[in-house]
Chain A
Amino acid sequence: MPDTLIFGMEVFLNGLMAGVLYALVALGFVLIYKASGIFNYSQGVLALFAALTLVGIMDGQVPFSHMINAVFGTDIHHFGWQVPAVFAILLTMVVMVVLAWAVQRLIFRHLIGQEPIILFMATIGLAYFLEGLGDIIWGSDIKKLDVGLPQGINASIDELTYQWFGYGFFIDNLDIWATAIAVILVAVLVAFSQYTKQGRAMRAVADDHQAALSVGISLNFIWIMVWSVAGFVALVAGIMWGTKSGVQFSLSLIALKALPVLMLGGFTSIPGAIVGGLIIGVGEKLFEFLVGPLVGGATENWFAYVLALIFLVFRPQGLFGEKIIERV
């Protein structure tokens, strides 16, 4: 088998894995858009905030310690204990639910019925607020995140592919875990939205706020629930990306990776986010592998958007998005 084909297969598999990581970020956008029609600009910052909170809890960091020390002249930083990852994740989820409640109570409850652009602007403000709040609570240093997920080359795949092709493929263990978690997450989210009372209520709210209200569905409750679920998805994305690079403020920029995925997969489809992520991941990696060397490399960022635009020409609503027909 030619080397280029073998290497191409390795790139393809790594593209799939990268696509899953992009999809994890895109899922948060989809959930909120689907339920409320809000394009949540702050989704990347939510992932950052969740990851910062998780590390802070795990390390026993004193919240607001910099501010406390500056005001009172103390020198406290840590409580002196470590919290196991599982408990820390649960506690972080509690924080994200409280945050969802606060976001709904303080921002969106006052904006019901406003134009989508107003809601979008509110999420921009929320993003800046959360970024500053995260800095004040946990500090801006780069933090190592280790929730026990394995990283590095998967030896079994390396050996197996070496036997088959004479070249061992590199697949990162963390990416395999991310894929497994994403599959479970999507299955649970789809089941939740299709087969539970709350899920059906969420879909009803997404279809028509006024009609949902008229049949007794609490808009406030549904939006708090959706923001909580988006917070959970953000936490998962934050864990995966934070494990790769450390938890730091550039984590919020992962949202940039989700945009072409959303354009391609559609803003309203959970499976669309996954399929869109996979197509973007594979497409950009293969393009970089095959064409990158001819054009000086670093093609991935722009190619993802070009790929999404090509799809949009033929399906403006995205692959799985709902077709909007407006009759005049």
Chain B
Amino acid sequence: MGGYNPMRRTLTTLVTGALLAAGPAMADLTIVDTSYRTGPYAANGIPFSDGYQDYFTLLNERDGGIGGEKINIIECETGYNTEKGVECYESTKNEDPLVYEPLSTGITYQLIPKATADEIPLHTLGYGRTSAKNGEVFKWVFNYPANYWDGASVAIKHILDQEGGDLNGKKIALVYHNSAYGKEPIRTLEKLGEKHGYELMLLPVDHPGQEQKSQWLQVRRERPDYVIMWGWGVMNQVAIQEAVNIRYPMDHFIGIWWSGSENDVLPAGEGADGYKALTFHNLGDDYPLYDDLRKFVVDGGKAAGAGDQLGTALYNRGMYAAMLAAEAIKTAQEMAGTSAINAAQMRDGMENLKITEEKMAELGLPNFGPEFEVTCSNHGGEGYAAVAQWDAAAKEWSLITDYMQSDQDVIAPLIEEDSTAFAQESGIEPHCD
């Protein structure tokens, strides 16, 4: 014990050599997928993570990576738990990741100061801190193509369309998860209420949201003209079932994009028919890219999950997030003149990302998402979103509107105000390089 052992030394050398040779390439482009495949929110975390990883796997299998560099995906389980999410970040940040997609508003809030200090970009696709759109303050955070306030505004725009442009005297209820996430749209909806003359009724639901009888009895008593929902997980399913129970008209019930997956409507069966939800990307799998995903990833046994989620709302969202990251990598590679980019160069790529319909069609995703452009001062895109509606018989979502831009007259000052306050608290001097 403890003495010199030539066999052990030989084995150690062999193992070390094998690891160095076969490891996922030391110069690879590393992406961390902070997923949640366990716990109460696993049903939503799995399809997103599957889509996110499958897209990168497709690029590796079909194209040999991006710009000749293989993509190395590190998956870290957060359980949708903020502490675990931070642990994931701390345990992987030394692997030279190019970008984090935390997939949780709570985790995002914790990571903003850390990632800023470590100079690693965060992409928070349709979640996180809304005012991070101001890139002059949040240099390392990006929330394109749309944020919560865009969502609130687009919901009101849709209601305006339904009501012939006049909301005077109307009552709109917000049923929301009683958390920082759920409270995000309140200020925007209040401001829009002042502008359009509707009354806003606030109905908070405590976590996790399995019991909502009080809220829906109130909806039944006060009969708001529309209900907007900001929910997640079981809160969504219960809210939709309660709305069905009180016979609330489902086409007057609009969820944010995190309340618009198949998981949310299927438990309510036929009753959920007509329920609406916002989205910033298209739905289904009728795109050329999905043929490649099946051919190179699923059929080859390389799918991140069971390969049964393709075309679901959350799979598409995860895939879309990965596609946007991949396009930012390409942009960064062009700008840096090297394929082996680092996190700082990735940030530059994200800040100069331009998504056009032509580019989307080339990628096999025609009409999949809105065009947008990221700049130094605008890390959130133009704020376009559309409305999808659930067809219970066909068990599928379909877009019923074009992409609409949020009301920038209302939202831009709110973002300016919030981000400026953050800059003052944090001692940040807003600037563009």
Residues of chain A whose beta carbon lies under 8 Å from any beta carbon of chain B: 7, 10-11, 14, 17-18, 66, 69-70, 73, 77, 131-132, 135, 140-146, 151-153, 170, 172, 241, 244-246, 248-254, 257, 285, 288-289, 292, 296-298, 300-301
Contact B39 A249, beta carbon cutoff 8 Å: yes
Contacts A141-B263, A244-B238 hold; do A298 and B178 have CB atoms under 8 A apart?
A: yes
Contact A170 B39, beta carbon cutoff 8 Å: no
Contact A250 B204, beta carbon cutoff 8 Å: no
Contact B244 A289, beta carbon cutoff 8 Å: no
Q: Does B245 contact A (CB under 8 A)?
A: yes
Q: How far is the CA of A323 from the CA of B277 in the complex (A)?
A: 54
Contacts A244-B241, A245-B267, A248-B237 hold; do A66 and B306 have CB atoms under 8 A apart?
A: yes
Q: Does B40 contact A (CB under 8 A)?
A: yes
- Bitwise, B389-403 to A at CB < 8 A (1) or not (0) is 000000000000000
Contact A14 B237, beta carbon cutoff 8 Å: no
Q: What are the residues of chain B within 8 A of A73 when measuring CB–CB?
A: 301
Q: How far is the CB of A299 from chain B (nearest CB, A)?
A: 8
Contacts A144-B266, A144-B269, A248-B43 hold; do A18 and B213 have CB atoms under 8 A apart?
A: yes
Q: Does B246 contact A (CB under 8 A)?
A: yes
Contact B221 A7, beta carbon cutoff 8 Å: yes
Besides A69-B306, A246-B263, A250-B40, 10 other CB < 8 A contacts? A11-B217, A18-B213, A135-B38, A143-B267, A144-B266, A144-B267, A146-B269, A248-B263, A249-B42, A300-B214
Q: What are the residues of chain B within 8 A of A252 when measuring CB–CB?
A: 40
Q: What are the residues of chain A within 8 A of B178 when measuring CB–CB?
A: 297-298
Main secondary structure of the interface of A (DSSP, over half): helix
Q: Does B46 contact A (CB under 8 A)?
A: yes
Which of A145, A146, A170, A251 sits near B217, CB closer than 8 Å?
Answer: A170
Chain B, interface size category, equals 35 or more
Could you list some 7 contacts between A and B, CB below 8 A? A141-B263, A170-B245, A245-B238, A250-B208, A297-B202, A297-B203, A297-B204
Contact B241 A142, beta carbon cutoff 8 Å: no
Contact A249 B237, beta carbon cutoff 8 Å: no
Contact A14 B241, beta carbon cutoff 8 Å: no
Q: What are the residues of chain B within 8 A of A69 when measuring CB–CB?
A: 306
Which of A142, A146, A152 sits near B237, CB closer than 8 Å?
Answer: A142
Q: Does B210 contact A (CB under 8 A)?
A: yes
Q: How far is the CA of A246 from the CA of B213 in the complex (A)?
A: 16
Contact A300 B211, beta carbon cutoff 8 Å: yes
Q: How far is the CA of A214 from the CA of B247 in the complex (A)?
A: 61
Q: How far is the CB of B226 from chain A (nearest CB, A)?
A: 19
Q: How far is the CB of B313 from chain A (nearest CB, A)?
A: 13
For window 1-49 of B, CB contacts with A under 8 Å fall at: 37-43, 46
Q: In the complex, which of the residues A151, A254, A292, A298 has the most CB atoms of chain B within 10 Å of its own CB atom? A: A298
Q: Does B220 contact A (CB under 8 A)?
A: yes
Contacts A144-B266, A170-B246 hold; do A10 and B217 have CB atoms under 8 A apart?
A: yes
Nearest chain A residue, comparing its CB with the CB of B38:
A135
Q: How far is the CA of A251 from the CA of B39 in the complex (A)?
A: 10
